[in-house]
Chains A and B, each alone.
Chain A
Amino acid sequence: MSDMKSMSATELAARLSSGEIKAKEACETCLAAIRADGHNCVIGLREEEALAEAEAVDRERAAGLNLPPTAGLPLLVKDNIVVRGKLPTTCASKILANFASPYDAHVVEKLREARLVILGKTNMDEFAMGSSNENSAFGPVKNPVDPERVPGGSSGGSATAVALGLCPVALGSDTGGSIRQPAAFCGVVGLKPTYGRVSRYGLVAFGSSLDQIGPLARTVEDAALLLGVIAGHDERDSTSADEPVPDYRAGLNGDLRGVRVGLPAEYFPAELDGRIGETVMAQVNHLKELGAQVVEVSLPHTQYAIAAYYIIATAEASANLARFDGVRYGHRSRSSGDVIEMYRTSRSEGFGAEVKRRIMLGTYVLSAGYFDAYYLKAQKVRTLITRDFTEAFRKVDMLITPTTPTPAFRIGSLTDDPVSMYLQDIFTVTINLAGVPAVSVPAGLVDGLPVGVQVIGRHFDEPTVLKVAAGLEGGRA
């Protein structure tokens, strides 16, 4: 089973279906690899339950029952997605160190229906706040290519685990780039679906109007496979869309004739590392060979995106994280005093520095006297940014940009410089603000480090996004 590390999820699923590989065997192989690994990308395993679920798949398959095509496929999920059971859902935070969820997230229900086997939970930036996976109560994750470097964040654990072959696919979440940036840094595929495509029920909220769950995988087809499992309407999430779920693997044939691809000038600024620009442009040339037409477009309000994003996301987060107060669950300080003191000490002890910084930022921008200047203004910018995309998508079907401005940086190099850290998201946050889907696909190497190319599509046009992404995948050196 040594070849499982490089086997695609699609292939593994096929071999599981044919009975060539047993689900238990796949599960044990992954668990062993995870236990032996030193990148700190997995922070909780549900070994007993996973093995029992895998054995049940094998038993039913042996009995000739008709199982879903993904039955027995192992995966890891980011630790901000609640999974019912003994294994806590911590969000990599001390404040939820012992929180065992009494319910499953909608995506977890979907995974169970499709009989995938959840092995455990991946490391992340605390409450998904970060771009390096250094903000974790469980310690930083090491980049799979260079252990001195960060894997990106906040879904750094999921990206690393997939890159290392510890599991064929994983779930992450993306609020401003948290799937795509670590995918780029780790050399894997990461998709942020359209806002509303995947239910947020059971995803611990960071920025509710921006958050989406999505797949990380080693191939575009695998990402499409997992998206097909988790997508769909959920009446428990009012922002979930009642849109049909197509077969996302259907159009991945490399034929891009007639597809109009736009290059937004604002995403190729003069300051961009030339080697990243060249790598992305090599991919664009490959798309031309596949029949795509390439034109330059403009998204004129891009420069305001980071500011708007860090206002909206932190404002929402400041309210979303108010429930972690030590009253009903999670960390409660031992220090005595009245209830106000209990809130203060529990939250001071429970949250890490970056989470506190964002709660304070968000609280500030919503405060009386500042609300209009910050929150309202940011919402207006958001409207303009969304309009930029609408305008661009009148001319083209797809937009291509670099995923990140740099390759993976060294652990600790940006921790004292939050603004530089926030600028990591410069090419990804606009997509969340507009709610459109985007995928990061490996584009090549710069200094031996992976960099990604980002494909952005219209709302609910994941099929074309994935089709173009599959075309790019074929052209990688």
Chain B
Amino acid sequence: MTGHDWEAVIGLEVHAQLKTRTKTFCRCSTHFGDEPNSHVCPVCLGLPGALPVLNREAVAMAVKTALALGCTVHTHSIFARKNYFYPDLPKGYQISQYEMPFSSGGTVMARLEDGSERTMRLTRIHLEEDAGKSLHTITRAGTAVDLNRCGTPLMEIVSEPDLHTPAEAYAYLYRLRQTLVYLGVCDGNLEEGSLRCDANVSVRPAGEKKFGTRTEVKNLNSFRGVEKAIAYEIERQISVIEAGGRVEQETLLWDADRQNVRPMRSKEEANDYRYFPDPDLLPLVLEESWIDQIKSTLPELPQDREKRLTAQYGLPEYDACVLTAEKEVADYFEETVRLAEGTEPKKVSNWIMSEVLAVLAERAVPVTALKVTPEKLAGMFDLVNQGTISGKIAKQVFDRMCDTGKSAAEIVQSAGLVQISDTDELKRIVGEIVAANLEQAEQYRSGREKVFGFFVGQVMKATRGKANPQIVNELLKEALK
């Protein structure tokens, strides 16, 4: 089977931790990073006799997600027990949804790196509880188990096998994560595990309708990891087939250090989960009116906001993408534009994309933690527009605003950064500089216009950048006639 063009078929299963205050079936806190086993109770410890009670907040968040992704929300669904033994699974089963999930269908509208849009279909979303964590390294005696995470609500979001390249998988995951974060239902952190992704991968000769044998690749704990692992697995399957072999249906673990996959030990894999309806929980019945109420709270979604930013502010698509990557940044942009009357939106966009995002990256803080609020940033633009400071000075002012949280006006005042627009004073400085550089003045007058920049630089140097550049231009032209 060589000489074919190959097509990969990829489906993603994403587990997203819901940002509820308490766990799915008990009232323990979901807070991350606390002392091991400090958020546990008889229910999430799986003590004999303890019973689950469903957290409505988790259902509301899951329904919100389903509505945002255009899924059908079912008014009647069922929780099932998924049976398998594992030390971090106290009951010996996970409460999940199987035959009747609360939602099915839906789409993710992803944007590929070339800017084109793709609609990727979802199979279903269901609600389930997370397991605890096995810690293999903290004791010498053996494995320790931390059950703080046990019972935290998860959504499992399953895509159709609609994806064909690692880049598409990346784009899908990017948009899905962005949507969840926009909705405020998940913090979207792959590294910390609040968002987890498994990939089902198979290959087939291009044009073939039948699916090839698929493998499941787990342990993809970064965006680039997802892309790399899928690319690796596609290549591996092609080379197996081209060498005359057959792809085995198996579960593989991506090893990010070695950049390869290894099969999961068969003992780690349960073959038959023996799902059956959980008799401790009643069927989940959702009122239509309750669903409608949640629908009315849906925020603007990233792809819609992207389009609106280009239409409303005349921004290039690229700017709109960058600004809407995070909801808070887009909010920041719009708020600044609203407050900075008379400033071109594109100018605000440029400033945010270069200055603001750089500061956020450098300090590793969210935009909401930035001391420069949209109001303060708008204040800075006002000073530029009024000619109080130059664009160059504005950068310095912005840096000080980031450090101190003071307004641009305060900084400009106290540091004496007010732009010199006093024509008399500038005329004096220009006169002195022209007099001290007669040779260059002669060169300019004889046609070497480049030398003009030299004079601007000298004036700026003498005024420590505070000179109003427009006035300097005019005065220099006059003096060098």
Interface residues of A (CB under 8 A from B): 80-82, 89, 91, 96, 99, 101-103, 105, 200-205, 207-209, 235-239, 315-316, 318-319, 321-325, 327-329, 338-340, 343, 363, 366-368, 371, 375
Contact = CB atoms under 8 A, between A and B. Distances in A.
Contact of B48 (A101, A327, A366): A101
A81 B45 CA distance: 17
B70 interface: no
A111 to B, nearest CB: 15
Given A238-B54, A323-B90, A375-B276, A101 B83 contact: no
B51 A236 contact: yes
A202 B48 CA distance: 7
B81 to A, nearest CB: 5
Contacts of B90: 323, 327-328
Contacts of B46: 323, 328
A96 B87 CA distance: 18
23 contacts: A80-B49, A89-B48, A102-B47, A103-B42, A200-B49, A201-B49, A203-B49, A204-B48, A209-B279, A238-B281, A239-B282, A315-B276, A319-B81, A321-B92, A323-B91, A323-B92, A327-B87, A327-B90, A328-B90, A338-B267, A363-B274, A366-B275, A371-B276
A238 B83 contact: no
B275 to A, nearest CB: 8
B274 A366 contact: yes
Given A101-B47, A321-B92, 14 more contacts: A103-B50, A202-B49, A204-B48, A204-B49, A239-B282, A318-B83, A323-B46, A323-B92, A324-B48, A327-B90, A328-B46, A339-B143, A340-B267, A366-B274
Nearest to B45: A328
B432 interface: no
Interface string B79-117: 001010101001111000000000000000000000000
B52 interface: yes
Nearest to B43: A236
A239 B280 contact: yes
Contacts of A200: 49, 51
A379 B280 CA distance: 16
Which of B42, B47, B143 is most buried by chain A, counting CB atoms within 10 A of its CB?
A: B47
A206 B143 CA distance: 30
Nearest to A91: B48
A323 B53 contact: no
Contacts of B282: 238-239
A366 B53 contact: no
A201 B50 contact: yes
A163 to B, nearest CB: 27
Contact of B83 (A105, A204, A322, A338): A322
B362 interface: no
Contacts of A208: 279-280
A102 B92 contact: no
Given A208-B279, A319-B276, A340-B267, A99 B93 contact: no
Nearest to A366: B274
B272 interface: yes
Nearest to A339: B87
A235 B43 CA distance: 13
Contacts of A375: 276
Interface string B265-287: 00100001011100111100000
B22 to A, nearest CB: 14
B132 to A, nearest CB: 10
B92 A319 contact: yes
Nearest to B145: A327
4 closest Cβ contacts across the A-B interface? A322-B92, A209-B279, A366-B274, A208-B279
Nearest to A210: B279
Contacts of A371: 274, 276
A238 B280 contact: yes
Contact of B53 (A105, A236, A325, A338): A236
A238 B49 contact: no
A323 B93 CA distance: 8
Contacts of B93: 319, 322
Contacts of A363: 274
A210 B7 CA distance: 52
A367 B272 contact: yes
A103 B47 contact: yes
B48 A96 contact: yes
A332 to B, nearest CB: 12
Contacts of A103: 42, 47, 50
Which of B49, B83, B85 is most buried by chain A, counting CB atoms within 10 A of its CB?
A: B49
Given A82-B48, A201-B51, A236-B51, A343 B85 contact: yes
A204 B145 CA distance: 23
Contacts of B42: 102-103
Contacts of A101: 47-49
A275 B313 CA distance: 93
B225 to A, nearest CB: 27
Contacts of A203: 49
Contacts of A318: 83, 274
A101 B54 CA distance: 23
A341 to B, nearest CB: 10
A238 B92 contact: no
Contacts of A81: 49
Nearest to B53: A238
A6 B111 CA distance: 82
Interface in B8-58: 42, 45-54
B84 to A, nearest CB: 9
B276 A323 contact: no
Contacts of B143: 339
Contacts of A339: 87, 143
Nearest to B281: A238
A465 B272 CA distance: 44
Nearest to B49: A202
Contacts of A105: 49
B48 A99 contact: yes
Contacts of B274: 318-319, 363, 366-368, 371
Nearest to B86: A339
Contacts of A338: 267
B329 to A, nearest CB: 42
B57 to A, nearest CB: 15
Nearest to A362: B274
